[in-house]
Amino acid sequence: MPAFTLGIEEEFQTIDPETRDLRSHIGQIVEDGKVTLHEQVKAEMHQAVVEVGTIVCNNIQEARREVTHLRKQIIELAANQGLKIASSGTHPFSRWQDQQITADARYDKIVEEMQDAARSNLIFGMHVHVGMESRDMGVHIMNTMRYFLPHIYALSTNSPFWQGRNTGFKSYRSKVFDKFPRTGIPDYFSSAAEYDEYINLLIKTGCIDNGKKIYWDIRVHPFFDTIEFRICDVPMRVDETICLAALLQALVAKIYKLMSSNLNFRLYRKNLISENKWRAARYGIEGKLIDFGKQAEVPTHQLIHELLDFVDDVVDELGSRQECEYALKILEMGTGADRQLAVFNQTNDLKRVVDYIVDETSFGLS
């Protein structure tokens, strides 16, 4: 089996400890971070967002060490500026209109093109890269992996609030991001050549200037030999981040194993998979997804158990059984969204929700 290396990127909120609102860090955290973290820390379009990314990791244990180290470092760097770090797909009450845009030609161009769709894109995600031996392999695995995206997404839901409102969604982050072009579940591509032809057509016609402007929930990366999963809210706990990354890696490995035996998981249309994505955003793990093979609704809890059974024969080879089975803990305690809502229902205070998110962000780091 190929190595299926891992890379994980997490986007964090910089929080004012007094107001609990987002605070623009004006690049200082990033500048200080480059002394110790070098290119593993970077600014995003909004100044209240800071992103960290692991090096290429050979297995899930290396990924855990990297994610833990990066979180520790960014929390310390924020503390030096009198700020806190929070890990949630949206801030519970901050208004995007009050947040500053990072001064950068790239972001200026995005804002000029997309206007308020870009200015309001105050959201925080987690991206997982899984290494591929070839772009053709990446495209074929991407086609099949699309089916499982809503299952993983449901486990990651961590953005129930938006601008002071309980949205009724377990993940409102994706609803905010839907305003961007080229988002959501991608279409099926027969080969890397067809995939590249599509991207080149968009570049030729002035729709995009490079393949990174493809913002799908999963994509073959334009510059790295990876497929990149972009659907997840950034989770609160390291344990959750590592669980989701391990499940994605295991699913990739399982699909590869099937392909190597001239077998494959059935492919479904984008429109059908998008139905499940909507359900995952709305209900998280507490709803039902459609089992298209059975043509029936099935509780998401049951489907997560079935997913773990599906990858059972590859997790020991990957060394990730414990990390994958943390999904059962998420089913037991609730996703980040479920836990945020529980705090709000107990306190009726969104500032207490922010405090909870901050505490959970550092959970298990010591």
Residue 92 CA: distances (Å) to CA of 37, 123, 175, 225: 29, 11, 15, 36
pLDDT digits (tens, 9 = 90+) for 114-166: 899 989 999 999 999 999 999 999 999 999 999 999 999 999 999 999 999 99
**Over residues 319-327, mean pLDDT:** 98
Q: Is the pLDDT of residue 366 over 80?
A: no
Contact 11, 125 (CB under 8 A): yes
Q: What is the mean pLDDT of residues 275-296?
A: 96
Residues in CB range of 94: below 8 A, 6 or more apart: 21, 22, 48, 122, 163
Among 29-38, 67-76, 187-196, the minimum mean pLDDT is found in: 29-38
Mean pLDDT, to the nearest integer, of 286-300? 95
Inter-residue contact 273 to 279 (CB < 8 Å): no
pLDDT of residue 26: 64
Q: Tell me what pLDDT residue 102 has.
A: 85
Question: Rounded to whole angstroms, how far apart are CA atoms 175 and 164?
Answer: 16
Domain residue limits, the chain = 6-361
Average pLDDT over residues 185-192: 95
3-state secondary structure 94-141: CCHHHCCECCCHHHHHHHHHHCHHHHCCCCCEEEEEEECCCHHHHHHH
Mean pLDDT value across residues 77-90: 95
Taking the C-alpha atoms of residue 181 and residue 177, their distance in angstroms, rounded to an integer, is 9
Comparing CA positions, the residue from 250, 67, 91 lying closest to residue 167 is 91
**Mean of the per-residue pLDDT values of the chain:** 95
Average pLDDT over residues 289-317: 96
The confidence score (pLDDT) of residue 201 equals 97
Query: Which class in CATH covers the domain with range 6-361?
Result: alpha beta
pTM: 0.95
Would the pLDDT of 31 be above 90? no
